[in-house]
Amino acid sequence: MPTIILKESPDHHDAELVIRLYELRREPVMRESRHALATQFWPRSAEDVLALTKADHPLNAAWRQVGGYWEMVYGMARHGIVHADFLVDNNGEGLMLFAKVEPYLDALRAQAGPRAFRSAEWVARETEMGRTIAEMFRGRIAARLKAAK
């Protein structure tokens, strides 16, 4: 596999891309899908996550749209297209979905494919901002699940 050279500092191209990604997040169907997963999806088991991969699940379309969007966005960082920490600093929301599925990632990858959440995982582990934001979301999710018991 070729070595990926990550950008050392952000430039105006990174800023333009981040602004464009923000505009895409504001598209009405995308906004509705992001809201649905943020408010209705609180998995407590691998089965809860795997259920969303089924076409007949009410949140399946949102799952595919939002998960695919964030994988595309974080893939840009993982492949050195955009400065990783700058991107994540301005687009950390996808790490909330990753933090929700992270405990069940092995089961998800076994069922849905080994590439599931590969870019989000890279961002959450290999970038300073990603580690910070993912940890914040892990804490929020744990607190939310504990309060809902």
What are the pLDDT digits (tens) for 13-52?
999 999 999 999 999 999 999 999 999 999 999 999 999 9
Average pLDDT over residues 134-140: 97
> What CA–CA distance (Å, rounded) separates 82 from 6?
8
Best CA proximity match to 42, nearest among 61, 25, 59, 21: 59
Best CA proximity match to 119, nearest among 132, 105, 140, 104: 105
Asked whether residue 106 carries a pLDDT value surpassing 60, the answer given is: yes
Average pLDDT, the chain: 94
pLDDT at 24: 94
Q: Where are the domains of the chain?
A: 13-147
Query: What pTM was estimated for this model as a whole?
Result: 0.92
